[in-house]
Structure 1
Amino acid sequence: MLTIHAADELRLSWDAEPVRDGAVAVRGDRVVGTGSLGELLERFPGARLRRWPGVLGPALVHEGPLPQAPSPRERLHAVLKSGSTAVLERYAGTPDLRAAAVRNEVAVLPRTRETAIVDTGRADLAVFDTDGACVATVCAGRLVHRRR
């Protein structure tokens, strides 16, 4: 299914110029288009539309120890709630954490990297409100966190 994620503002990278009323089209786990919401609605008629308040951009890399929680799944969920879809391998070294990362499609990286939204790239997205709180996280095309 094709989903268009739209927000007040889109940033293809966090230091890029904003696109007002921007959107990202996602099919499966891949980005298939970016631009203004109007452009993507024309290009992908019939797509499911998810509108978010705030700024939509690439998901983050969690660069420190994973938050404490009763289980590896809950530790990774706390990372997803922060707008991150990747962790550094030095902080996900146990077999239980690695298995939970695989199950949840959280990327485990050898080192930090810049994040960006690119056509055909993995659909890892995050939306942040004006206070910097995460509103929603999309990991490999799946909505994994939505603030109520």
Structure 2
Amino acid sequence: MLTVHAADLLITGDRRPPVPGGAVLVEGREIAAVGRYEELVAAHPTARVRRWPGLLTPGLVNVHGPELLERAYHPDPREADELGTEPIAGAALAALAMTDARWGASARRGVQRMLAHGTVAVAGSLWRPGAVDAVYRAGLTVEERFEDPPGPPTLDPLAGRSLAEAILLPFPPDGVRGIDATFAVFDVPDEAVLAERGAVSCVATVVKGRLVYRRR
């Protein structure tokens, strides 16, 4: 099935200029074309259309993979009254009775929170089976990390990094096929406002053609 994902502005992720009214044509798990919405729909009139507000960009990499998924606990919503909603690490984590099952559930919640920030890949070596499984099942990739990331661990892949630095891969140029349909949409008008508001403005994340997160 063909699906057109359209937004107010498309960022290519490389030196090509932004595309007003840009869109991505998805076929299965791959990107079939990138261009203006009107042109893609005219060429593929039977494609399903998903229209999003704001900025459509390639997916992002969170450089704090191990810190967020293996060294922090993401509380269950039912624990919010006792533990809050933010990841727990350090001395506070040491006070929790962490079992393999609890680590696995935490990693699954952590991955879902990453998807809600436009994250499609994590950087760093993962060793806990629960974390590896959570990442694999969500379709995220694991990237090599050559140095420790600056700043404290954060779910926002844009914290302390520009959009260009956080993008996993740019959208393919015309005629290139075989690239996974992996991207995100942010409810902001342009890149400057995205830098100001951060990835918390994410409204949708697509991984290998699957809509894995949609803000309700």
Q: Shared fold (TM-score greater than 0.5)?
A: yes
8 Å contact kept, 1:52–1:127? yes
Figure out how many residues of one structure are paired with residues of the other and give that number: 147
Tell me the percent identity: 41
Q: CA deviation at 1:94?
A: 1.3
CA-to-partner distance for each residue in 1:46-86, whole Å, 9 max, x for gaps? 11100000000101001113264252211111111100110
Letter in 1 for 2:10: L
* Higher percent of residues as strand: 1
Letter in 2 for 1:66: L
Q: CA deviation at 1:15?
A: 6.0
Q: Which moved more, 1:112-121 or 1:131-140?
A: 112-121
Runs of 4+ in structure 1 deviating by more than 4 angstroms, as ranges, are: none
Letter in 2 for 1:115: L
Matched residue, 2:180: 122
Matched residue, 2:6: 6
Distance 1:55 1:13, change over 3 A: same
Give ranges in structure 1 of 5+ residues lacking alignment: none
State the distance in 2 between where 1:123 and 1:9 align: 17
State the distance in 1 between where 2:167 and 2:24 align: 21
**TM-score, scaled relative to structure 1:** 0.90
**TM-score, scaled relative to structure 2:** 0.63
Matched residue, 2:117: 82
After TM superposition, the structure 1 = structure 2 runs for residues 1-148 of structure 1, keeping only pairs within 5 Å, are 1-13=1-13, 16-64=16-64, 65-66=67-68, 68-70=73-75, 71=105, 72-90=107-125, 92-111=126-145, 114-118=168-172, 119-120=176-177, 121-130=179-188, 131-132=197-198, 133-148=201-216
Distance 1:15 1:127, change over 3 A: farther
8 Å contact kept, 2:183–2:207? yes
Distance 1:137 1:14, change over 3 A: farther
Q: 3-state DSSP class of the match of 1:53?
A: coil
8 Å contact kept, 1:127–1:137? yes
